[in-house]
Structure 1
Amino acid sequence: MKPRGLIVFDMDGVIVDVSGSYRETVRQTARLFFKGACSGEDLPDPLFPLADLARVKQSGGLNNDWDLTVLVVNLLFTLVKGFTNHKDPNPWSRYDKTISSCDVAALAQFINSTQRPLTILLERNGKRKHEFITGLYTGDVGSGNIIKQIFQEIYLGKDLFESTYGIPAKVYYEEGYINREKLLVDTPILEGLSKRNILAIATGRPKAEADYPLDFFGLRKFFSSVITLDDCLEEEHRIFEQKNINVSLSKPNPYMLDAVAGTFKSQVSEFYYIGDMPDDMVAASRSMTEFVGIGILISSSEKDALRQDLLRAGADYIIEDFEELRGIVKYNKS
C-alpha cells in the first residue's frame, strides 16, 4: 500500500456546496445591514449576483466569510449618502441611529444598473475601510460585533444561534441557511481515496460549523484530522501571550497545512491540498512541506476566470471534479 499520501481538503466549495448557505448569508447580511436606511426598500433582492461576490472573494486576503461580508458592506457603503456617525455607546443603538440617517437611493440605482456592482466598486475603490463599518466589526457576537452577529443569526438560524451563543437572536428568527448546504463529493470517492491515503480537512470554518456537515453527511469516518479556525485562533493567542505579537494564521498563511503535515509526516511521502480559492494555492506553495496544490472548479459559476486565478496563485493541477483526482493521487476503487 505504501507510499501513502496525505490529502488535505478545504471544506467550503470543495466538500460542501456553500452557494446557498455561506455565500447567500453574505448577500443577505449585506442587504439586512442597510434595511433601516432611507430608500432601503429600493435595494434589489437579491442584492447582487453570487458570481459577482465570487470575484470579490477570489481577490484574496480574506480569512473567512465574515471578513468577506465586511468587505462587501464597505464597498457598498462608498455610495451611501447623508451619513451621520452617532456616538451612542451601545453598538446596536449606534448602528440603528446611524443607518437611519443614511440614504441608499444612489446605491440602489447603481446596483440595479449593472451585473457586477461589487467587482466595479472593488476596482474603483480597492479594499477601503470605513470607520463606521470597522467599528461594527470589533469584538465578538454579543459584545459589539454587529456584522458578525447578523451573519451568524442568518447562517445558523434562530434556534442554533441561541443555543450556540446563549443570547437571543436580534434580527433574524427563521431557519438557518446552514441547512441549505449540499455535498459536492460522492462518499465512494472519499472511501476509495482513504484506502491509499490519509485524508484531512483544513478549513476557515469555526469548529462547530465544520463539525455540523461532517456529522450531517456522515463524513467524519473518512478524515483523520480536522483543522479549523479555532485552532488558528488558539495558536494566535499563544503567540501573543508569549511574544506580544499579533499574527493571522488563517489562509493564505500555511499554518493549518503545516500542522496537519507535522502530525502525519512520518507516515506519508506525498502531500496534496485541494482548494477552490487562490489563497488555498498560496498556502500550499508557502507550506514548509512540499504540498501539491490542486485547484478544483466544481462549485464555480465562472470556471475560466477561476482557473486563471488559481494558476496565477501557484496551482500545480486544476481539476473540474473529483473523478480527475484518480490521475493525480493514489486511489483504490474497491
Structure 2
Amino acid sequence: MTNLNSLKAIAVFDIDGVIRDVSGSYRRAIADTVEYFTNQAYRPTPIDIDQLKSEGVWNNDWEASQELTYRYFESQGQSRTQIQLDYNSIVAFFQSRYRGTDPNNFTGYICDEPLLLQASYLEALTQANIAWGFFSGATRGSANYILEKRLGLKAPVLIAMEDAPGKPDPTGLFATVEILENGSENLAPVFYVGDTVADMYTVTKARDLHPQRLWVGVGVLPPHVQETAARRDAYAETLRQAGAAVVFSNVQELTPGKIEELLG
C-alpha cells in the first residue's frame, strides 16, 4: 500500500494503446463499422483513423466511427442532413465486432489484445511510493476485462466511460487523482500517460484549472505507429505539440527513476 504522507507522485494511465494494443481490436472495429455503414464503399486506413484522432476530440470510438462515415458521404457530395445515420445502430454494430455477439461473455476482438504492460511494473511503482490508477474512455466492462482478468489486478482505481465526460475534459482525471490521494493534502505531482492528442489536451486543461499542482503529460507511441521510423517520429511530434513532456515507445519506460528525473 502506498504511504500517502510520503507520496512522491501519482501516475494515471489511459488504457487503449497504453496498457493494451488496440490496433487489431478497437481500430479494426472502427474500420469494420465505417465500411458497413458506407455500404462497403470505404474502409478507413490506420492513418485515416490517426488523422481524425489527431484533431483531439474523437476519443470515443463510436463517435469516431460515425464521424468517418459522415465525412465519407460528404466527400461524395451529400450533406449530413441527407444521411440517415442512427448512432445506436453504429454502437451496436461496433460492439458486435469488438465485444462479440454473446451478451454474457466477451468473444470479439477484445479477446486477442496484446498487453503492453506487466503487473510487476505497477508493483514497482507502489514500492517507490508512486500511487497509480486508470482513466480511460473505454467502457467499464472492457477496461475491467483487461485490468482484472488479463492483468490480474484486484479492484484497481478506474474512472471509465460511464463515470465521467469524455476527454479532453479533465473531470475524470481529477476524479482518479482524488481517489488515489484518499484525503491527503500534499498535492503530489500527477503524470497522465496516454497515446493520443486528446490525452495530452486533458493534461493541459487540468493544468489550467488547477495550476497549483504539477501536471505532466507523458506520451506513449501505440504499436501501430511504430512500424516505420517516419510514422513513429511524426506521431511523437504530434504528441509533443499537444503537450507531452516526454514520449516513450512503451509505457514501462516511465520508471520510478524516470519520474524522479522528470520532477528534476
TM-score normalised to the size of structure 1? 0.66
Contact 1:293 1:314 in 2 (8 A): yes
Partners of 2:152 and 2:60 in 1: how far apart?
22
Determine the structure 2 residue equivalent to 1:217: 150
Determine the structure 2 residue equivalent to 1:17: 21
Please state whether the residue corresponding to 2:134 is helix, strand or coil.
Answer: strand
Partners of 1:131 and 1:212 in 2: how far apart?
38
Contact 1:189 1:322 in 2 (8 A): no
- 1:13 maps to a residue whose letter is G
Please state whether the residue corresponding to 2:11 is helix, strand or coil.
Answer: strand
Q: Deviations 1:111-138 (Å, cap 9, x if unpaired)?
A: xxxxxxxxxxxxxxxxxx712557512x
User: Structure 1 pair 285/34, CA: closer, same or farther in 2 (3 Å)?
Assistant: closer
- 1:263 maps to a residue whose letter is I
User: Structure 1 pair 295/219, CA: closer, same or farther in 2 (3 Å)?
Assistant: farther
Contact 1:156 1:178 in 2 (8 A): yes
- The CA deviation at 1:264 is 3.3
Contact 1:29 1:151 in 2 (8 A): yes
RMSD over equivalenced CA pairs, Å = 2.5
Work out the number of aligned pairs and report it: 242
Determine the structure 2 residue equivalent to 1:322: 251
Q: Equivalences for 1:294-333 in 2 at 5 Å? A: 294-301=218-225, 302-326=231-255, 327-329=257-259
Partners of 1:199 and 1:175 in 2: how far apart?
29
TM-score normalised to the size of structure 2? 0.82
- The CA deviation at 1:187 is 2.7
Determine the structure 2 residue equivalent to 1:176: 108
Determine the structure 2 residue equivalent to 1:282: 201
Structure 2: gaps spanning 5 or more residues: 226-230
Q: Equivalences for 1:70-81 in 2 at 5 Å? A: 70-80=66-76
Contact 1:193 1:330 in 2 (8 A): no
Partners of 2:150 and 2:126 in 1: how far apart?
17
- The CA deviation at 1:188 is 2.2
User: Structure 1 pair 75/178, CA: closer, same or farther in 2 (3 Å)?
Assistant: same
- 2:117 maps to a residue whose letter is V
Please state whether the residue corresponding to 1:157 is helix, strand or coil.
Answer: coil
Residue 148 (structure 1) aligned with residue 91 (structure 2) = yes
- 1:295 maps to a residue whose letter is G
Structure 1: gaps spanning 5 or more residues: 84-128, 138-144, 165-173, 233-248
- 2:215 maps to a residue whose letter is F
Q: Percent identity?
A: 30
Partners of 1:323 and 1:135 in 2: how far apart?
41
Partners of 2:83 and 2:254 in 1: how far apart?
42
Partners of 1:9 and 1:50 in 2: how far apart?
23
- 1:258 maps to a residue whose letter is F
Contact 1:281 1:310 in 2 (8 A): yes
- 1:130 maps to a residue whose letter is R
Give the one of 252, 257, 263 matched to 2:168. 252
User: Structure 1 pair 182/58, CA: closer, same or farther in 2 (3 Å)?
Assistant: same
Partners of 2:159 and 2:44 in 1: how far apart?
32
- The CA deviation at 1:80 is 4.2
User: Structure 1 pair 10/135, CA: closer, same or farther in 2 (3 Å)?
Assistant: same
Partners of 1:218 and 1:10 in 2: how far apart?
15
Q: Which has the greater radius of gyration?
A: 1
Q: Deviations 1:59-78 (Å, cap 9, x if unpaired)?
A: 21114101110111112112
Contact 1:4 1:268 in 2 (8 A): no
Determine the structure 1 residue equivalent to 2:228: none
Partners of 1:330 and 1:187 in 2: how far apart?
21
User: Structure 1 pair 215/262, CA: closer, same or farther in 2 (3 Å)?
Assistant: closer
Q: Deviations 1:77-113 (Å, cap 9, x if unpaired)?
A: 12447x7xxxxxxxxxxxxxxxxxxxxxxxxxxxxxx
Q: Equivalences for 1:1-334 in 2 at 5 Å? A: 2-35=6-39, 40=40, 43=41, 47-80=43-76, 130-133=80-83, 135-137=85-87, 145-160=88-103, 163=104, 175-196=107-128, 197-221=130-154, 224-232=156-164, 249-265=165-181, 266=184, 269-287=188-206, 288=210, 289-301=213-225, 302-326=231-255, 327-329=257-259
- 2:124 maps to a residue whose letter is G
